[in-house]
Amino acid sequence: MTTAEARLDNHPYGALERRWHRMSALSDAAGVLGWDMSTVMPTGGAEARTEQLAALDVICHQQINDPALADLLDAAEAEAATLDPWQTANLREMRREWRRETALQADLVEALSRACKRCEMAWREARPAADFAGILTPFENLLALVRESAEALGNALGLDPYDALLDGFAPGTTAVQIDNVFQPLAAFLPDFIEQVLARQAAAPQAIPLEGPFPVDRQEALSRSLMGVLGFDFAHGRLDVSAHPFTGGVPDDVRITTRYDEADFMSAMMATLHETGHALYERGLPANWRLQPVGESGGMALHESQSLIVEMQACRSAAFVGFVAPLLREAFGADGPAWQADNLLRLVTKVERGFIRVDADEVTYPAHIILRSHLERAMIAGDLAPADLPGAWNDGLEGLLGIRPENDRLGCLQDIHWYDGAFGYFPTYTLGAMIAAQLFAAAREAHPEIPEAIGRGDFAPLLTWLGDKIHGQGSLQEPDALLIRATGKPLDPAIFQAHLKRRYLD
């Protein structure tokens, strides 16, 4: 009998595994359909796909709400002493999913699913046209349903509504904890940004790279760098979408990017970022596919894995030295602008910009702090959707001293809210902090990591991450996993030290 077969015997826990296997497979199918909707589906298929995804969401919801499943959870927990550590953790995560799903009525789940997809498709037309008015009605409808679900979740979990949403992306995290981390960062950033800008103004200026940069060459470069990082194209693919993202399932990881013929760096860095997500997905424990314990430890950890690749490793002097000749070859270019020292100035250039996904790591947290404040206000009912553009523009001006000239550069730039993902944004900066702490611990354990990256060898870093993070799945709670990997809980000072070292030393 195999290990998997031994787990799937007739006791209550085994019955739960069988049920979760089916539910997870259905959920994964919905994920692939969602990827297709965002990449290759013709626009005329939107309403049909909306109905398909709503039906799958309701089926999964009905299965987890089956009274028999609640009885099985109770029975399995009564026999918990017979379970091994992975089974125990799996049962914990099953109960967590059950508590969240049973908090919502089926009609709300169905309505929310439809509203998310309809608003997302409206956003795809509104964003390039900078037409917030065109998306206002579907967004108002969606926000009302998100607030209703947040209330229901909060009542069931004993949490504030916004905390209940946060918990879905960063388990166990509350707004108070976010404030404790973000407030010192918000106090640190203004003077630090000024210092960095002054230092860069006094240094030799970065020479711009002159395009155009054909999309086919950018795609070839992206695929080449994905290969350097170890992306397995037999278990994944690269496509184009309006907003870069990672989807699919661990054995079929779908990542997307977007190309600009005037700026290849944007697509290159987006691809590296999403490849970090993909490597985490592929590295999750294969023996626990389609079980909660085999999933990632939440989006803060997930974002740490994309940012440890993009920010910690691939904006380092070591990586830029490695990639410089590849860039010259890819675009048939040469000269001072294409030398490693100038490229490093370009990839570490700090400037106040409007677009979050293109922001440098110094100003990036300001973008997240703004979004965190605004989404909390919307969930609390203190900010109406119609007032979002003005609040956004005022907030960005207050944080970075710049004001968007249109909503494409402002509140329409990200997909998250228009797909119902409230509570997601804080995980980006939490992820940046975790990434800095993990990279510091990895370098302490393996001092050869920077030199290896300089050769295009990511094996030492990824092997360490595979052991400490990827292969652990959800065996431990996220906070405990970070302590196991680094020896301490999240320490925001490590992130600030990283910024000072890179930009002021």
Nearest partner of 422 among 360, 373, 367, 375, judged by Cα: 375
Structural domain containing residue 455: 176-503
The verdict on residue 50 lying in a domain is yes
Final residue of a structural domain among 83, 102, 121: 102
Residue 66 has pLDDT above 80, yes or no: yes
Residues paired with 252 in a beta bridge: 249
* Vertex 62 angle, CA 108 and 290, to 5°: 115
pLDDT at residue 1, rounded to an integer:
35
The verdict on residue 408 lying in a domain is yes
Residue 69 has pLDDT above 50, yes or no: yes
Final residue of a structural domain among 84, 102, 120: 102
Same domain, 77 and 208: no
For the sheet containing 252-257, what is the strand order? 236-240, 252-257, 246-249
DSSP label at residue 226: H
Same domain, 92 and 191: no
Are the C-beta atoms of 362 and 499 separated by less than 8 Å? yes
- Mean pLDDT, residues 425-434 taken together: 96
Residue 115 has pLDDT above 60, yes or no: yes
pLDDT at residue 400, rounded to an integer:
94
Same domain, 92 and 214: no
The verdict on residue 170 lying in a domain is no
- Mean pLDDT, residues 111-121 taken together: 94
Q: Per-residue confidence at 78, pLDDT binned at 50, 70, 90?
A: very high
The verdict on residue 413 lying in a domain is yes
pLDDT tens-digit series, residues 260-285: 999 999 999 999 999 999 999 999 99
For residue 128, CA distances in Å to 41, 119, 412 come to 18, 15, 9
| Residue % of the chain over a pLDDT of 90 | 96
Helix axes 161-169, 136-157, angle to 10 degrees: 90
The verdict on residue 132 lying in a domain is no
Q: Per-residue confidence at 300, pLDDT binned at 50, 70, 90?
A: very high
pLDDT tens-digit series, residues 81-90: 999 999 999 9
Are the C-beta atoms of 281 and 296 separated by less than 8 Å? yes
Final residue of a structural domain among 50, 71, 102: 102
Q: How many separate domains does the chain show?
A: 2
pLDDT tens-digit series, residues 354-393: 999 889 999 999 999 999 999 999 999 999 999 999 999 9
pLDDT at residue 10, rounded to an integer:
66
Same domain, 357 and 453: yes
* Residues marked as catalytic: 274
Residue 313 has pLDDT above 70, yes or no: yes
pLDDT at residue 327, rounded to an integer:
98
The verdict on residue 269 lying in a domain is yes
Q: Say which amino acid occupies 261.
A: E
Strand 236-240, strand 252-257: pairing:
parallel
Same domain, 215 and 363: yes
Same domain, 362 and 231: yes
Residue 8 has pLDDT above 70, yes or no: no
Same domain, 259 and 359: yes
* CATH number, domain with residue 244: 1.10.1370.30
pLDDT tens-digit series, residues 124-160: 999 999 999 999 999 999 999 999 999 999 999 999 9
Residue 466 has pLDDT above 50, yes or no: yes
pLDDT at residue 2, rounded to an integer:
40
Are the C-beta atoms of 49 and 39 separated by less than 8 Å? no
Same domain, 189 and 90: no
The b/e string for 333-372 (b: 16+ C-beta within 10 A; e otherwise) is: eeeeebbbebbbbebbebebebebebbbbbbbbbbbbbbb
pLDDT at residue 358, rounded to an integer:
87
Same domain, 98 and 245: no
Please give the model's pTM, rounded to 2 decimal places: 0.93
Same domain, 286 and 409: yes
Q: How far apart are alpha carbons 435 and 443 in whole angstroms?
A: 12
- Mean pLDDT, residues 222-226 taken together: 97
Same domain, 292 and 410: yes
Q: What is the mean pLDDT of the chain?
A: 95
The verdict on residue 167 lying in a domain is no
Same domain, 292 and 416: yes
The verdict on residue 123 lying in a domain is no
- Mean pLDDT, residues 191-219 taken together: 96
